[in-house]
Structure 1
Amino acid sequence: MSFQDMGSLGEFVAAIATVATLLYLSAQIRQTNLITKAQFGHGLTHRLYERFFQTAKDPEFAEFIGKDWAGEDINSVDKSRITFFTIMLLVDVFDVYDKVRQGLVEKKHLDMRVHMLRTGIFRSPTGARIWSFWKNVRDQEFIDWFEKNIVDSASMAEFIKKYQEENPEEQENSDGETNSFIRTD
Structure 2
Amino acid sequence: MNKNTNKPKFILLGAAMSTMLLLGACGTKSNSEGADVVNAPPTAGSEENTVAENQPVTSTASPDTNITEPTVADPSKPENTENTPASEKPANTDSEILVVIDQTAKPSEGNSFDFFIEQLPSGFMLAEMQWVSKENLIVNSREEAIQHGGDGEDGFYISGNGQFSGFIYPDSMKGEKGEVVILFKNEQGKELTWKKEITLK
Normalization by structure 1: what TM-score?
Answer: 0.26
Normalization by structure 2: what TM-score?
Answer: 0.25
Q: Whose radius of gyration is greater, 1 or 2?
A: 1
